[in-house]
């Protein structure tokens, strides 16, 4: 394999890693926001927000890395995707603005009701828009070369609305199991209840999405049901079933850390299954990782720095999680 | 002017960028100020430095939060509104933005968490390390983003094939001709912006006769800083101007509203530039001064706008006026620094109300100067996004005008709400002050912490 072929492959892995890091890390923070609507009183909301306040900013940075990484490594994918999803992505950004400033403003406000709503609705809308974006990529985007050629609402379909709702349930599950891990007492008991209920809905959503995907495009059907590719795809549903079972079991047995770790695993499995469905495309149906790759001079220049910097980033990110380990108390803010 | 996507996208981008730049301009300087306060506290154990840190870190957190969220919007604008530009320049600019995220954003975001919430979790030295990392992160961020921006003004180290910019020499791309000047000018501007906010707050406390010790430290350090850095900034700006004359002569001609090529050109103090008639109305000018400043020669030749075809000229009036606003504020800053120095020498720095009122009035001067400077340089780049090579009209996304209009209106409304609230909370922190009187220490575990401004139990006080 030559450098010209290998580099895009490596970059597909890097972008994929960046996106899954974002989904997992900001996923549980957005999940906290979604669940904050169900929290009882300012006391519980304070604890939930304090459990993520020191780390949310770093988590959200993975989204920016995903965006600029895509621009650098696969420019046509970036320049097709963003105009095609102009409206949902703009809405997501606005939702993320409200969600983000709520962390600071809520604790500075005399009457936090408005910022509570900004946190809650911002999280729901941002998550829903991300789910729509994911669904729109899976269902395919019309492009000629590096330019989008469709209309402003091509992304809107029953399938994308389904993936939007599915992601809200999924992030809420991540958030619920995070609350289980970081709290105790009444709130933790409540979070076990949320986890159980959300797990059931996540399984239903995953099943619906999985059944829908093969009907979107003949290629997907061929990959999932044609011999011999189907054999390669079988591990994904099997792994999903195993993880779901583990989740039910660990929630029922009141494990504190396992439900969160298994929820993360659930996301990895679902994500890998989707990626395997449209591989080697980066934006189906036209752009593959080979015809969307930026020149090797660009991919090469960035990969040198990335190889050096990413270990540092992962190290100090891990270190900051270590500093803030353990159960959250209400008065840990700096405010 | 019709509602076409290009005009709307330009307005949207200008709005989003202008809003965003205010926060980095402030937080770059504030991060260094916080690191200095904490370092001085560690070195001297004087409590005033701890109080100053605790006070300014709240303002930093609010500003940083707004900078982060508006910055995320920025990173998507290239794709949503300027996808043709993005496609053409991605091989060159993509890695610069990515390096900004990798070296700066993660550093700032992660260590900010430790800075704000880690007082009782890590030791004092490690906490100082976190503050220093955030300060270094803001610097690295400025480095990369100004490299990318400068490349768009003075592109170098690339090869143009089929409308796409291919990187050839990364050193030349990163350290392109205008980059060093632009970086120094911007970082000094950010420092001055912060210094004038700190001076304004300190002076306001003096006028209200409150927060005595903190106010004295802020005034003393602020005046010392401003009196050294303002002259440096004027020199840096002059060097930056010389580079601009070399690479973007049309921009300089527009800044001076200078129409005819001539030797010994006059400097217009005031004028009303008229692009249609290619002349200035109501001009008040000083002979030979423009040549002297820009070429450093009494009779140096300045190229006029008429030497460029109309299609190659940037809009003159906004550049002419914004440049004068920036320079005028620079002169007012110089006066602030010099008078402060003189008053300090006469030992009257803390007891001169007219000077304190002057400083309070100068509080927003840095922000306005930064905005005016960016307007000058960015409108001066028109009609190009990549100077001389890629026109703005050829850069825009295939997005319909209704979509862009809808998002533009939404961004204006949302930023209005968020910016208004942020400013309100910052002003409230300022009003409470760094030396608040002791509050009844009777914490109700279920009611107090969510009301931070009345929360008496500051976590830093428990540090051993």
* CB of B312 closer than 8 Å to CB of B250: yes
Q: Report the residue count for chain A.
A: 335
Nearest CA-CA partner of A194 in A265, A251, A116: A251
- Listed residue (A272, A260, A237, A238) closest to A17, CA to CA: A272
Contact B113 A42 (CB under 8 A): no
Within its chain, how far is the Cα of A322 from the centroid? Answer: 22
Q: How far apart are CA A101 and CA B30, in angstroms?
A: 19
B122 in contact with A at a CB cutoff of 8 Å?
yes
B328 and chain A: CB distance < 8 Å anywhere? no
Contact A87, A153 (CB under 8 A): yes
What's the pLDDT band for B438 if we cut at 50, 70, 90? very low
B425 and A96 within 8 Å at the Cβ level: the answer is no
* Segment 22-61 of chain A within 8 Å of chain B by CB: 42-43, 46, 53-55, 57-58, 60-61
Interface contact B168-A93, CB threshold 8 A? no
End-to-end CA distance of chain A: 55
Cβ within 8 Å, pair B457-A331:
yes
Cross-strand partners of B286: B267
Q: Kindly tell me if the per-residue pLDDT of B386 is higher than 80.
A: yes
Q: What is the pLDDT of residue B453?
A: 41
Among left, alpha and beta (phi > 0; psi -120 to 50; other), residue A303 is: alpha
CA distance A139 to A116: 35
- Say what the pLDDT of residue B250 is: 84
Cα dihedral across residues B220, B226, B229, B232: positive or negative: negative
Residue B463 has pLDDT above 50, yes or no: no
A 152-191 near B (Cβ less than 8 A) = 152
Take residue B384 and report the two structure tokens written for it.
């190009």
Backbone φ and ψ for A149, nearest 5 degrees, come out as -120, 5
The DSSP code sequence of B129-193 is HHHHHHHHHHHHHHHHHHHHHHHHHS--SEEEETTEEEES-HHHHHT-TTHHHHHHHHHHHHHHH
Residue A312: enclosing H or E segment and its boundaries? Answer: helix A296-323
Top pLDDT among B173 and A218 is at: B173
Q: Tokens in use for B91?
A: 């091989």
* Cα(B99)–Cα(B141) distance, integer angstroms: 9
- Per-residue pLDDT averaged across B347-356, rounded? 88
Query: What pLDDT was estimated at residue B2?
Result: 58
A297: nearest CB among B76, B167, B446? B167
Q: What's the token pair of residue B391?
A: 């026109």
Q: Are B367 and B28 in contact (CB under 8 A)?
A: no
Chain B residues near residue A333 by CB distance under 8 angstroms: 117, 449, 452
Q: Is B411 exposed, middle or buried (0-12, 13-18, 19+ CB in 10 A)?
A: buried
Q: Give the C-alpha separation, A54 to A57, whole Å.
A: 7
pLDDT for the residue numbered A1 = 64
* pLDDT 10s digits, A224-276: 777 777 777 888 888 999 999 999 999 999 999 999 999 999 999 988 888 88
Pair A174, A24: CB distance under 8 Å: yes
**What's the pLDDT tens digit per position in B105-125?**
999 999 998 998 888 888 889
Q: Global pTM?
A: 0.88
pLDDT at position A335: 64
Confidence of residue A331 (pLDDT cuts 50, 70, 90): low
Contacts of B170 in chain A (CB under 8 A): 301
pLDDT band (50, 70, 90) for residue B441: very low
Q: Kindly state the average pLDDT of the residues A168-186.
A: 93
- Does B444 have pLDDT greater than 50? no
Give the best residue of B102, B144, B409, B427 to mutate against chain A (max A CB count within 10 A): B102
Are B434 and B448 in contact by the 8 Å Cβ rule? The answer is no
Rounded to an integer, what is the distance from CA A208 to the centroid of its chain?
Answer: 18
């Amino acid at each position: 394999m030559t450098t010209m072929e290998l580099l895009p492959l490596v970059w597909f892995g890097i972008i994929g890693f960046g996106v899954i890091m974002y989904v997992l890390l900001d996923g549980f923070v957005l999940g906290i926001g979604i669940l904050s609507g169900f929290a009882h009183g300012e006391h519980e909301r304070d604890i939930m927000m304090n459990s993520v306040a020191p780390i949310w900013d770093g988590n959200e940075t993975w989204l920016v890395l995903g965006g600029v990484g895509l621009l650098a490594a696969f420019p046509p994918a970036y320049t097709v995707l963003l105009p095609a999803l102009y409206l949902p992505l703009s809405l997501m950004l606005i939702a993320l603005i409200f969600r983000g400033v709520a962390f600071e403003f809520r604790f500075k406000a005399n009457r936090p009701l408005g910022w509570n709503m900004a946190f809650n609705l911002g999280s729901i809308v941002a998550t829903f828009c991300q789910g729509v974006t994911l669904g729109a990529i899976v269902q395919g985007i019309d492009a000629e070369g590096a330019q989008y050629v469709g209309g402003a609402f091509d992304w809107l379909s029953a399938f994308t609305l389904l993936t939007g709702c599915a992601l809200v349930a999924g992030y809420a599950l991540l958030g619920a199991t995070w609350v289980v891990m970081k709290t105790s007492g009444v709130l933790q008991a409540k979070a076990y209840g949320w986890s159980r209920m959300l797990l059931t809905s996540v399984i239903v959503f995953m099943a619906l999405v999985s059944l829908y995907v093969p009907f979107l495009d003949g290629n997907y059907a061929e990959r999932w049901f044609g011999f011999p590719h189907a054999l390669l795809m079988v591990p994904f549903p099997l792994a999903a079933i195993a993880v779901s079972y583990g989740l039910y079991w660990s929630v029922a047995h009141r494990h504190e850390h396992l439900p969160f770790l298994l929820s993360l695993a659930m996301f990895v499995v679902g994500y890998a299954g989707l990626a395997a469905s449209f591989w080697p495309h980066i934006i189906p149906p036209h752009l593959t990782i080979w015809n969307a790759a930026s020149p090797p001079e660009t991919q090469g220049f960035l990969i040198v720095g990335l190889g050096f910097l990413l270990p540092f980033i992962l190290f100090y990110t891990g270190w900051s999680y270590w500093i803030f380990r353990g159960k959250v108390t209400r008065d840990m803010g700096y405010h | 002017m019709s509602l076409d996507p290009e005009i709307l996208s330009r307005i949207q981008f200008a709005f989003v960028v202008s809003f965003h730049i205010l926060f980095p301009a402030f937080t770059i300087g504030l991060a260094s100020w916080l690191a200095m306060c904490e370092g001085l506290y560690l070195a001297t154990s004087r409590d005033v430095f701890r109080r100053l840190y605790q006070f300014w870190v709240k303002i930093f957190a609010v500003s940083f939060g707004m900078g982060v969220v508006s910055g995320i919007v920025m990173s998507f604008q290239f794709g949503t509104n300027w996808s043709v530009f993005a496609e053409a320049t991605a091989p060159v600019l993509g890695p610069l933005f990515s390096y900004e995220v990798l070296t700066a954003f993660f550093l700032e975001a992660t260590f900010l968490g430790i800075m704000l919430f880690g007082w009782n979790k890590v030791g004092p030295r490690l906490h100082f390390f976190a503050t220093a990392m955030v300060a270094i992160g803001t610097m690295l961020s400025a480095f990369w983003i100004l490299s990318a921006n400068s490349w768009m003004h003075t592109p170098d180290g690339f090869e143009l094939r089929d409308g796409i910019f291919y990187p050839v020499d990364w050193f030349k791309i990163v350290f392109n001709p205008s980059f060093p000047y632009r970086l120094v000018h911007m970082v000094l501007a950010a420092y001055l912006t912060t210094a004038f906010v700190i001076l304004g707050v300190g002076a306001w406390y003096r006028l209200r006769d409150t927060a005595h010790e903190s106010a004295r430290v802020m005034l003393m350090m602020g005046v010392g800083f401003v009196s050294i850095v303002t002259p440096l900034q004027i020199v840096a700006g002059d060097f930056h101007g010389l580079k601009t004359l070399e690479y973007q002569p049309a921009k300089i001609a527009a800044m001076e509203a200078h129409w005819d090529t001539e030797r010994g050109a006059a400097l217009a103090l005031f004028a009303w530039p008229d692009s249609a008639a290619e002349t200035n109305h109501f001009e008040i000018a000083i002979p030979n001064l423009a040549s002297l400043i820009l070429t450093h020669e009494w009779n140096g030749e300045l190229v006029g706008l008429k030497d460029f075809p109309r299609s190659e000229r940037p809009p003159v009036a906004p550049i002419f006026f914004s440049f004068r606003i920036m320079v005028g504020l620079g002169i007012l800053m110089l006066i602030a620094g010099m008078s402060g120095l003189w008053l300090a020498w006469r030992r009257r720095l803390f007891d001169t109300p007219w000077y304190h009122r002057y400083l309070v009035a100068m509080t927003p001067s840095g922000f306005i100067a930064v905005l005016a400077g960016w307007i000058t340089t960015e409108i001066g780049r028109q009609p190009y996004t990549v100077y001389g090579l890629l026109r703005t009209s050829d850069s825009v996304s295939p997005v319909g005008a209704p979509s862009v209009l809808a998002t533009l209106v939404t961004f204006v409304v949302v930023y209005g709400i968020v910016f208004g609230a942020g400013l309100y909370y910052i002003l409230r922190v300022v009003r409470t002050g760094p030396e608040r009187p002791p509050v009844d220490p009777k914490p109700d575990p279920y009611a107090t912490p969510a009301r931070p401004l009345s929360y008496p139990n500051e976590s830093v006080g428990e540090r051993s």
